[in-house]
Amino acid sequence: MTHANPNSVLTGTHFMNGDAACCEGLLAAGARFAAGYPITPSTEVVERFAARTPKTGGLFIQMEDELAASIAIQGMVWAGEKSFTVTSGPGFSLMMEHIGYAAMTETPCVFVDVQRGGPSTGLPTLPAQGDMMQARFGSHGDYLTIALVPDSPQECFDLAVESMNLAERFRIPVMFMMDECVGHMTEKVVIPPAEQIPVYPRRRTTKKPGEYLPFAPGEDLVPEMAHAGEGHGLFVTGLTHDDRGYPLMNPAQQHKLVNRLFDKILRAADDLVMVEEEGMEDAEAVVICYGITSRVARRGIQLAREKGHKVGLMRLKCVWPFPEKLVHGLAGRMKAIVVPELNLGQVVLEVERCAAGQCRVIRLPHAGGTVHKPADIVAAIERGMA
């Protein structure tokens, strides 16, 4: 680990929205280059980036569409830079092919999705959490990603840094799943001094051209990286490939490669459990939530406690990989788990799978456009405790 470059860190206490904080987080994490295509409610991230980059070095390019933006950033990464793109639902759908390309070619990058109501054009200016399964399964074929979900502008900064760091550590595309509320909400954001912001550097190879095998995995199954122009004669392809990067299309290599892409994340799954717990000491039921929904859940839990229900909160900051063991253990101790989310039931499917019938799992779906009412959360808790 190294630390952030002071040149790009706005150390201090700010009053800024989540989109702006996300931009600052990615800059602090070392992104100097980005590509994007305008889409509400995400555009403010790259508007700010475009204004900031001449001073920090680097640039923002507005591409002709999301397909172009999501592959241009990967060109930037193979040129040696850290990069990201920002979008919302309809654009996220268009980017799916290149999330798969990044997974297959082990290109570290961050995809920010400021979620809005869908399907299709849906609700451009209103919140939802309907892209959560798409963040996990959106591109064709088998791959794993990491998806982080912030619930405040402060976390838009903190977890944006973490997203970029995880992308570099695992050489994967990381999904940063904001939503319209968090993106447009303005709150206090404290940006620490650069030397207090840990930054995961590119895992560059020290091997000489000729000795270096671009896709030979290291001990943690992640290969070292080299860039264009360094004399390695890289060959990067989305086809199933061997350790040299050469196409090798047979069942044995497919098995070896795809399993490694899974295992490099699965092996570290315990490290990737990122949750915030509140009131779990005496809890008999728990509300599992993420993103903006957690802020309503807090109020709902408060009201339920006033009515005498012992309820705790578990907020997932990292939804993918899903904290399977944690939720399985929790289900054994609880009477009920309530899962409010701004979709008609996505992450709750994972909760149900991991709870494995040990306790009641109460779905609290919402099609989006606004957030739940605290009273809805209370009612769901009461149903669970009954």
Q: Is 140 in the site for another protein (CB under 8 A)?
A: no
Structure tokens at 243: 């350790």
Interface pick for another protein out of 16, 21, 27, 35 (rule CB under 8 A)? 35
DSSP 8-class letter at 17: E
The answer to the question of residue 56 lying near another protein (CB under 8 A) is: yes
Q: How far is the CB of 186 from another protein (least distance, A)?
A: 27
Give the interface size with another protein as a residue count (CB under 8 A): 57
Measured from the CB atom, the residue of 40 and 56 that comes closer to another protein is 56
The one among 11, 75, 268, 303 contacting another protein by CB under 8 A:
75
End-to-end CA distance of the chain: 49
Residues of this chain, 181-210, that bind another protein according to CB under 8 A: 195, 199, 201-202
Verify binding: residue 4, another protein, rule CB under 8 A. yes
Tell me how far apart the alpha carbons of residues 123 and 118 are, in angstroms, rounded to a whole number: 6
Residue 87 interacting with another protein (CB under 8 A): no
Q: Is residue 201 within 8 Å of 6, Cβ to Cβ?
A: no
- Contact at 8 Å (CB) between 153 and 189? yes
Give CB contacts under 8 A, 24+ apart, made by 246-255. Answer: none
**How large is the greatest C-alpha to C-alpha distance in the chain, in angstroms?**
70
Smaller CB separation from another protein, 68 or 347? 68
Q: Does 68 bind another protein (CB under 8 A)?
A: yes
Q: Which residues neighbour 47 within 8 Å (Cβ) at sequence distance 6 or greater?
A: none
Q: Among residues 12, 65, 190, 383, which is the contact residue for another protein, using CB under 8 A?
A: 65
Residues 150 and 175 sit within 8 Å (Cβ to Cβ): no
Position among 25, 30, 291, 368 found at the interface with another protein (CB under 8 A): 30
Closest CA to 86 of 120, 122, 45: 45
Task: State yes or no: residue 38 binds another protein (CB under 8 A).
Answer: no
| Binds another protein (CB under 8 A): choice among 33, 49, 111, 322 | 33
User: Is residue 12 near another protein by the rule CB under 8 A?
Assistant: no
* Closer of 83 and 163 to another protein (Cβ): 83
Q: Which of 133, 236, 258, 274 binds another protein (CB under 8 A)?
A: 236
> 113 forms bridges with which residues in the sheet?
87, 177
Indicate whether 63 belongs to the interface with another protein (CB under 8 A): yes
Q: Is 37 within 8 Å of 66 (Cβ atoms)?
A: yes
Nearest to 84 by CA among 108, 111, 105: 111
Q: Is 377 in the site for another protein (CB under 8 A)?
A: no
What does the DSSP 8-state code read for residue 373? P
| Residue 247 lies near another protein (rule: CB under 8 A) | yes
Smallest distance from the beta carbon of 3 to another protein, in angstroms?
Answer: 6
Query: Which span (116-124, 239-247, 255-263, 272-280) binds another protein, by CB under 8 A?
Result: 239-247
The answer to whether the Cα torsion of 254, 255, 256, 261 is positive or negative is positive
232 scored as a contact of another protein (CB under 8 A):
yes
> What is the CA angle 45-15-2, rounded to 5?
65
Q: Which CB sits closer to another protein, 65 or 276?
A: 65
Strand partners, 156: none
- Contact call for residues 314 and 297 (beta carbons, < 8 A): no
Interacting residue ranges for another protein, rule: CB under 8 A: 2-7, 30, 32-33, 35, 54-59, 61, 63-65, 67-69, 71-81, 83, 97-98, 101, 195, 199, 201-202, 227-239, 246-247
